[in-house]
Amino acid sequence: MSAIAAELPRAAVNAKLIALISTGAVSLGVFLSGFVIREPAPYELYMAGLIGVWALSGLRISRSIVPLVVLLVLFNIGGMISMTQMANLMNTPLYLAVSLFLAFTSIFFAAVIEAQPALYRPIFLAWILAAVSTATLGILGYFGIMPGAEVFTRYDRAAGAFEDPNVFGPFLTLPGVYLLYRLMTGRPALMPAYAVPLLIITAGIFLSFSRGAWGLFGASSVMLVACLFLQSNSGLFRLRVVVMTLAAFVLLIIAILVILQIPGVADMFSARAQLAQDYDSDRLGRFARYGIGFMLAMEHPLGIGPLVFGQIFGEDTHNIWLKALLDYGWLGFACWAIMIGWTVAAGFRILFRDRPWQPYFLCVYVVLLGHIALGSIIDTDHWRHFYLLLGLVWGGIALERRHQHAQGRTVGAPTAPRAAAAN
């Protein structure tokens, strides 16, 4: 009997140790997603191993996540079918392998969140740490403060540890929105702890000079404030949200005015702040290529092959919907459209429900909505953090279904004896 009693604490310690290791492993993967300056990046190599280990350890794909699995797999099958239309395959098999891998990362994060909802917090903390780190590199690189700073810039814009400023800026958005959420809802004593990293992240987004990143962060912040305002019935809390929003807006304007005094920043800002650049509105610019691409897609229902559009016109599609049509065919486009529609609808249905994970779900949902809108002017197909966002939303959807199921069992349990007694 004493031996059994001794085994119980040991089993509890082992369970805690396993939980700690798994939390650290997932968090490290999220942290590595902020450093993609070369491909294959450490993120790919690490996540491939991590997914393999979890799969061998019995990672469970519940019925709630099956729609995501089916739609992402069919989307990639569309790409494989599209590849058959190519005369020269070039690097297409590798490109599709990356697409499928990223789909698996989305499924992985959805599954681990459903299994361990407490992982939301360390995932967000790891993302914030990655964002502050890569934003700092981008800021230092932009101002040339450290040796080799040019590695962290592209086209005279901050890029951090990313290949492209247009991916660097959007990557910073979720941590920025979450820190903004904490500023508005957290204790006043902790505001400096949220404000400092938020300032660094916001500076990184600004110095990326990415119009998409600016719009994404602005739109996501507005949606967050609107959701907080609608979610609460407290007049005092609503007043706090309004006051904090106005204060944040004023501080942001002051910070922008200050940073614009730095030589070179104002010129880049005025150039990038235009709604349409020359490469957008030229005769064969981005917008003209949209029309050409959609007409081409109507003639090729199986697609023309991944990356072929860029070889024909010198520039890629810069539109995820057009990308899906041409690179993954009508099958891929249909699956992508259904997946996005399903995600938005299912997520919105549970957005305001009072759950322990609701703050995380709210932030990730509004940022994903912003990314979906951004996909209309830029190609998000291989953005690692987009698939992470998608997985976190589907993890929340699966959690809600599991919660409802458990609640139904709890409510239904006492009724059985009463029914038996009545009989």
Q: What is the pLDDT of residues 83-96, one digit of tens each?
A: 999 988 888 999 99
User: Could you list the residue range(s) of the whole structural domain that residue 303 is in?
Assistant: 37-407
Establish if 333 belongs to a structural domain: yes
Establish if 369 belongs to a structural domain: yes
5-46, pLDDT tens digit by residue?
555 577 677 778 877 888 999 999 999 999 988 777 889 999
pLDDT score recorded for residue 146: 81
Establish if 414 belongs to a structural domain: no
Residue 421 pLDDT > 50:
no
Establish if 316 belongs to a structural domain: yes
Q: Of 183, 167, 228, 164, which is closest to residue 365 (Cα–Cα)?
A: 228
The stretch 283-292 carries a mean pLDDT of 71
Establish if 17 belongs to a structural domain: no
- For the chain, the domain total comes to 1
Q: 285: pLDDT confidence band, cut at 50, 70 and 90? A: low
Peptide linkage before 40 cis (omega within 30 of 0): yes
Establish if 14 belongs to a structural domain: no
Task: Name the H helices within 88-190.
Answer: 92-115, 120-143, 165-171, 173-185
Q: Of 104, 33, 110, which is closest to residue 72 (Cα–Cα)?
A: 104
Establish if 300 belongs to a structural domain: yes
Coil, helix or strand at residue 351: coil
Sign of the CA dihedral running 69, 174, 221, 234: positive
Establish if 15 belongs to a structural domain: no
How would you class 51 by CB atoms within 10 Å of its CB: exposed for 0-12, middle for 13-18, buried for 19 or more?
buried
d(CA 216, CA 88) in angstroms, rounded, equals 37
| Per-chain mean pLDDT for the chain | 87
pLDDT score recorded for residue 91: 86
310-364, pLDDT tens digit by residue?
888 877 888 999 999 999 999 999 999 999 999 999 999 999 999 999 999 999 9
Structure token pair of residue 135: 């934003």
47-51, long-range: CB < 8 A, 24+ apart: 47/101, 47/105, 47/108, 48/101, 50/25, 50/26, 50/108, 51/104, 51/105, 51/108
